Amino acid sequence: MDNAKIADVFDEMAKLLEFRGENPFRIRAYRNGARAIRDLDESVESLLKDPTRKLADVPGIGKTLVEKTETLVATGSLPQLEKLRGEVPEVVIQMARIPGLGAKKATKLQEELEIESLAELRRACQEGQVAKLKGFGAKTEQVILEGLEIAEAAAERIYWSQGDALAQAIGQHMGACDAIEQMEWAGSYRRGRETIGDLDLLVVASDRDAAMDHLESYGDRSATIARGDTKISIRVGNAFQVDMRVVEAEQFGAALQYFTGSQAHNIHTRRIAKENGLKINEYGVFRTDNDSRVAGSNEKEVYAAIGLPWIDPELREDRNEFEWAAQERLPKLIELSDIRGDLHMHTSATDGTATIREMADAALERGLSYIAITDHSKRVSMAMGLDVKRAREQWQMIDEVRDEYDGRLVILKGIECDILEKGGMDLPDNCLAEADWVLASIHYGQKQPRDQITERILGAIENPHVTCIAHPTGRLLNRRPAYEVDMDAVLLAAKESGTLMELNANPARLDLNEIHLAAAKRLEIPVVISTDAHSLEGLDVMRYGIKQARRGGLERADVANTRTWPQMKKLLKNSS
């Protein structure tokens, strides 16, 4: 059982215990343990096997969680969780997502009306059954009906890229409001989480009502959820929530730091503040002895007041950022402008929409100095993948096109070669040897056992012609989990062989994830950020990969394709 699944179990335990009304310290222990395990850049399983180390030494994991983790690794399940699942019906959790309902009322509804689905709840409301219950009434019944759509959509977080498009549109709209003096997005969007559940906007305004009125005038607003003196929440489209808080100028930096989060990062900053005779909250930094203000108008002075340098939002997860800050070695995170090449893209020869020349011209427009054309190999038959003959024909075409771009753009002869279900590569070695750049990837047999998938990838890593492993865990956010693979073994093998690892920038993939990226950085494995573009516009997703790389703490030197092609070529295991 991998780290993510163990963490998911503990998160679910915490959620179910909360519904049961259990001790909040016990609930917090499970949540802290889940977070600690999810943030580890090595597998819990390998740590437990190491007699020189103890899982209990990991901050946030106590004796009880160690025992439960050992049970999970050994058996794949946890009896206590199965018992809780039987005691707290899933529909109660779904109902509790309805704004204004909560766990207690959701439980009462389920018990008294024997609700088994949200569809049944809607029907009960429409028939007036809910209004008859003590403590509910017609008004609550209407609130439930209006909130059901939100509850049904709440489980589906949107991609960061979708949140970004919405933030840009709302930001442009709000920029036209004369009353707004300062404005900044906060929350998980600002931290660059790969999916987000809502958007948080902070503003300083000379006229609060005017600012709120302007947000309400946003064209895609479907409803106003709540409006008070300093905060307004609107619904955009069918269900997505946008919150705006209006704060004073002297509070803006403190509020931005606070509402950017994460919660764990903020808890740590409060602890540091307390150790220095200060308190920090969304209103500012204050002395505890006389409550006088020390800082608050901008983030840099807020961090400086508690003895810290400003920390990039993407790093604010209470992983390594405080240790790095104390040692004066916070990373200088990679920027989009650092990228020189894109080494994963498809053309109309397989499932792309543009020709080699069109992709080359689009790359030049984006300031790139080299690209690799990496159409699929024959196993991906639905994309008309290339066999040996067609691959060589395409490479001959690239040879002919290269002269047109001499001195402006290097075009590499590449291939995205499938790792077959039985192991081995989809094209023979004598063909792969002719390529400048070989990506190895899995598209089939993704539900095979962990050992089998791991062996397939390790076999590709050992192949002398494979330069990089593409989208190494195969996940699709909100749609398909990562396949079972021993990433510790994969990364160690890549380190040993000199095989590079891809961070696929497609917003539905973002694969590697931030924890694997941190592990690659620790092992000094160069990461390649690629777009996997299937169209000209697909080249623009590079910025999403950069955001993900920043969350993994990657600097320019950690990313292979920040180098010139001659410099990068020296990194390749088959370079001469």
Please write the tens of the pLDDT for every residue from 449-463.
999 999 999 999 999
Q: pLDDT of 92-140, one tens digit each?
A: 888 887 877 777 888 889 889 989 888 899 999 999 999 999 889 998 8
One domain, residues 373 and 311: no
CA-CA-CA-CA torsion for 543, 549, 550, 551, nearest 10 degrees?
120
What does the CA dihedral 177, 183, 185, 190 come to, rounded to 10 degrees?
Answer: 140
Q: Which domain holds residue 319?
A: 267-326
Q: What is the CATH number of the domain that holds 298?
A: 3.30.210.10
**Which residue, 87, 112, 134, sits at the end of a domain?**
87
Q: Over 70: is that where the pLDDT of 180 sits? A: yes
Residue 150 banded pLDDT, cuts 50, 70, 90: low
- Residue 46: inside a domain, yes or no? yes
Q: What are the tens digits of pLDDT across the range 334-348? A: 999 999 999 999 999
Check whether residue 116 and residue 216 sit in a common domain. no
Q: Which amino acid is at 48?
A: L
Give mean pLDDT, residues 58-62. Answer: 87
**Within this chain, do residues 222 and 78 fall inside the same structural domain, yes or no?**
no
Residue 14 pLDDT greater than 80, yes or no:
yes
369 part of a folded domain:
yes
Q: Are residues 241 and 111 in the same domain?
A: no
Q: Convert the pLDDT of each residue in 275-292 to its tens digit.
A: 999 999 999 999 999 999
Shared domain check, 108 and 43 = no
Is there a domain that residue 252 lies in? no
**Residue 39 belongs to some domain of the structure:** yes
Domain endpoint, select from 213, 246, 279:
246
- Map tokens 């941190």 to a residue: 518
Q: How far is CA 388 from CA 346, 501, 573, in A?
A: 17, 25, 23
pLDDT computed for residue 493 by the predictor: 97
Specify the CATH number for the domain of residue 351. Answer: 3.20.20.140
Determine if residue 17 is left, alpha or beta; phi over 0 gives left, psi from -120 to 50 gives alpha, anything else beta. Answer: alpha
| Boundary-marking domain end, from 292, 326, 360 | 326
* CATH number of the domain bearing residue 138: 1.10.150.20
Q: Does residue 401 surpass a pLDDT of 60?
A: yes
203 and 312 both lie in a single domain = no
Do residues 530 and 556 both lie within one domain? Answer: yes
Please, which pLDDT band fits residue 8 given cuts at 50, 70 and 90?
Answer: confident
- Asked if the structure places residue 464 within a domain, the reply is yes
> Do residues 412 and 492 share a domain?
yes
Q: How confident is the model at residue 575 (pLDDT cuts 50, 70, 90)?
A: low
CATH of the domain at 208: 3.30.460.10
Residue 235: which of 245, 224, 219, 246 has the closest Cα?
224
Asked if 491 and 443 sit in the same domain, the reply is yes
> CA separation (Å) from 493 to 336, 462, 464, 486, 488?
29, 8, 13, 11, 9
**Which tokens sit at 461?**
């890593």
Answer yes or no: do 427 and 530 share one domain: yes
Question: Is residue 261 domain-resident?
Answer: no
Residue 448: is it exposed, middle or buried by C-beta count within 10 angstroms (0-12/13-18/19+)?
middle
Chain centroid to CA 301: how far?
Answer: 29
Question: Is 203 in the same domain as 66?
Answer: no
pLDDT tens, 487-524? 999 999 999 999 999 999 999 999 999 999 999 999 99
| Chain-centre distance for alpha carbon 327 | 27
Task: State the CATH number of the domain containing residue 31.
Answer: 1.10.150.110
For the chain, the domain total comes to: 5
- Do 529 and 462 share a structural domain? yes
Which pTM value belongs to this model?
Answer: 0.84
**Residue 443 falls inside a structural domain:** yes
Residue 505 lies in a domain: yes
